[in-house]
Amino acid sequence: MLNVQWILASSSPYRRSLLTRLGHPFDCHSPDIDETAQAGESPEALVLRLAIEKARAVATEYPHALVIGSDQVACYNGAPVGKPGNRHKAISQLQQFSAKTITFYTGLAVIDGSTQQVHSTVEPFTVHFRALTDTQIANYVDTEQPYDCAGSFKSEGLGIALFERFDGRDPNALIGLPMMALCDLLLQANAYPLNQSP
């Protein structure tokens, strides 16, 4: 598995940027699946199911590749948090989250296309927001315009100023691809990047 082709089952530029860090060449292929939650499905169960379904859908088109699937949901008071889409909704979200916490659940799946063996996990990560003023929120939103980000922030940029602390092992989870958990799965799949010579 060390020299096998990798496929990232996503069109996300954020996930693509993170995966580049591992130094293994890869291609991207966005899966076409129904991402609707099932009745009574928990956030953890949803992201795990969708990560596996995304990877499986792409693995059918790349039968000899290693396919990486990921899905994420942010939850506030047990309810999913969507992408704001515009300035007004981003400001409204951040006002709601001031001095509160959001938990992100990221499902990961690594599938060996040749054997269909699946390695998967769910990585939780919690962010604790500072008590923010309306001016601080507006200044942040106008600076980074995080309209395509669940929770209305980009933790890899100025968004770090929104938080008091994190609970979780890997802040990359906030960007959509928890790299430590991914390395765990790659190790299980005999595709661990440090087992390859440069």
Q: Kindly list the catalytic residues.
A: 71
Is residue 126 within 8 A of residue 167, CB to CB? The reply is: yes
Residue given tokens 């600076």 in the structure block: 143
User: How far apart are the C-alpha atoms of 60 and 55, rounded to whole Å?
Assistant: 9
Is residue 84 within 8 A of residue 105, CB to CB? The reply is: no
Q: How many helices (H) and strands (E) does the chain have?
A: 5, 7
- Least Cα distance to 95 among 135, 126, 124, 65 occurs for 135
User: How far apart are the C-alpha atoms of 125 and 129, rounded to whole Å?
Assistant: 13
**Residue 70 CB-density burial (10 A; 0-12 exposed, 13-18 middle, 19+ buried):** buried
Length of the chain: 198
Is residue 68 within 8 A of residue 182, CB to CB? The reply is: yes
The two structure tokens encoding residue 141: 């939103």
Q: At what angle do helices 87-97 and 134-144 cross, to 10 degrees?
A: 140
